[in-house]
Amino acid sequence: MKVFNFNAGPAMLPAAVMERAQKEFCDFNGTGCGILEHSHRGSAFQAVLDSCNLNIRDVFGVSADYDIVYIQGGASMQFAMIPMNLMKGAADFVDTGTWSSKAMKEAKAFGEVRVAASSKETKYDHIPDFAEWKLTDDASYVHITSNNTIYGTQYRSFPKTKAPLIADMSSDIMSRRVNVSDFGMIYAGAQKNLGPSGLALVIIRKDLVARTPENIPTMLKYTTYTENNSLYNTPPTFGIYMIKLVTDWMKEVGGLETIEKWNNEKAAVLYKAIDDSNGYFRTPVKKDSRSFMNVVFRLPTEELEAKFLKMVTENGMIGLKGHRSVGGLRASIYNAMPLEGVEKLVDLMETFRKNN
């Protein structure tokens, strides 16, 4: 059965990418074996790694001032690696939800965590106004979460900060055009918009890499990755291969300009259905902070939510249950979700509302 997969992560990948991976699985590029079976030091994998890097530079607009590396341990490992490598004394954090808080928790082991702004008091329903942020002069960096996967909020623009801006873009990386040069570092667990779980894509400015201290474990140093082109040890080769295919696909469809247009369109259709439902469907998120990736919404009662979830599941829509910590519904509409999936969901929402 064809399903529309609204999982928050690991999430659906473009159908064309899944088909290509299947086709190449047992025989990569006429080499007689799969990419999983190739040496990470061989020419077949080296070509994959090189073109993955080039694709990311090209699609995302990453200049030569930045290194691109792939590190195991997902985004959560970065929560610790960032302060371990880059924090000298204190850093500023903007707390916009579960993932921001987890990043702050890890950083406390390495220095002073200063909360520059937070939306915790209003249940993380918005991105705090830049004008209200209390940034400090001697902060090593400013850490933000560009899209809050669980609460359904997203930055519409980014502030200019004196200290390097570091963004956890796990759930909206390469979903729209951003000015990479506004950031000191961008990182993302791969399993939302890029590929398989288990690795993080890290884009880091060279002057930040230079802060890496000597006396930390080799595998936790940024320099280990940047100086060896992610090949100090065996990298997650299949994950990198999948990111290469996903970024090939991004180029084929017209790059981030096209993808951003698609994402705007999908989010507009879904939020319109919510806004036009006379309060039957409602989102707790403030309008100017709505996520275009994770659309969080509620129904009048929890009983109706359970009934709605059952109905959509029977109609081939999976992954719509909200995060266990907040309840309700969540439609994750990452790059790979076609407009058709969102339109079908909206039709089902309409039908359900009329009948219930």
- Active-site residues: which are they? 99, 168, 192
160: left (phi over 0), alpha (psi -120 to 50) or beta: beta
Q: Which is nearer to ligand PLP, 333 or 349 (CB)?
A: 333
Q: Which is nearer to ligand PLP, 80 or 116 (CB)?
A: 80
Q: Shortest Cβ distance from residue 240 to ligand PLP (Å)?
A: 15
Q: Which is nearer to ligand PLP, 98 or 136 (CB)?
A: 98
Q: Shortest Cβ distance from residue 211 to ligand PLP (Å)?
A: 22
Q: Shortest Cβ distance from residue 149 to ligand PLP (Å)?
A: 4
Report cis status (omega within 30 of 0) of the bond before 10: yes
Q: Which is nearer to ligand PLP, 38 or 321 (CB)?
A: 321
Q: Which is nearer to ligand PLP, 156 or 206 (CB)?
A: 156
d(CA 61, CA 242): 20
The reply to whether 319 sits near ligand PLP by the rule CB under 6 A is no
d(CA 113, CA 118): 13
Residue 339 tokens, joined: 């407009």
Stretch 100-139: interaction string toward ligand PLP, x if CB under 6 A: ----------------------------------------
d(CA 212, CA 86): 6
Q: Shortest Cβ distance from residue 116 to ligand PLP (Å)?
A: 18
Q: Which amino acid is at 249?
A: W
Using CB under 6 A, pick the residue from 145, 154, 226, 263 that binds ligand PLP. 145
d(CA 74, CA 83): 16
The reply to whether 53 sits near ligand PLP by the rule CB under 6 A is no
Residue 127 tokens, joined: 């991105």
**Of 338, 55, 79, 293, which Cα lies nearest the Cα of 171?**
293
Q: Shortest Cβ distance from residue 171 to ligand PLP (Å)?
A: 4
d(CA 85, CA 166): 13
d(CA 247, CA 225): 21
CA distances from 185 to 15, 19, 126, 137, 143 (A): 30, 33, 23, 19, 9
The reply to whether 9 sits near ligand PLP by the rule CB under 6 A is yes
Size of the site for ligand PLP (CB under 6 A): 13
Neighbouring C-beta atoms of residue 346, cutoff 10 Å: 17
Q: Which is nearer to ligand PLP, 14 or 189 (CB)?
A: 189
Residues 20-49 that bind ligand PLP (CB under 6 A): none
The reply to whether 224 sits near ligand PLP by the rule CB under 6 A is no
User: 268-300 burial by CB neighbour count: b if 16+ within 10 A, else e?
Assistant: eebbebbeeeeebbebbbeeebbbbbbbbbbbe
Q: Shortest Cβ distance from residue 94 to ligand PLP (Å)?
A: 13
Q: Which is nearer to ligand PLP, 74 or 328 (CB)?
A: 74
Using CB under 6 A, pick the residue from 17, 21, 74, 154 that binds ligand PLP. 74
Q: Shortest Cβ distance from residue 195 to ligand PLP (Å)?
A: 11
Longest CA–CA span in the chain (Å) reads 65
Q: Are strands 199-205 and 317-318 parallel, antiparallel or unpaired?
A: unpaired
Residues 170-209 that bind ligand PLP (CB under 6 A): 170-171, 189, 192, 197
CA distances from 222 to 73, 81, 103, 185 (A): 13, 8, 17, 12
Using CB under 6 A, pick the residue from 28, 99, 110, 308 that binds ligand PLP. 99
The reply to whether 76 sits near ligand PLP by the rule CB under 6 A is yes
The reply to whether 149 sits near ligand PLP by the rule CB under 6 A is yes
**Contact residues for ligand PLP (CB under 6 A)?**
9, 74-76, 99, 145, 149, 168, 170-171, 189, 192, 197
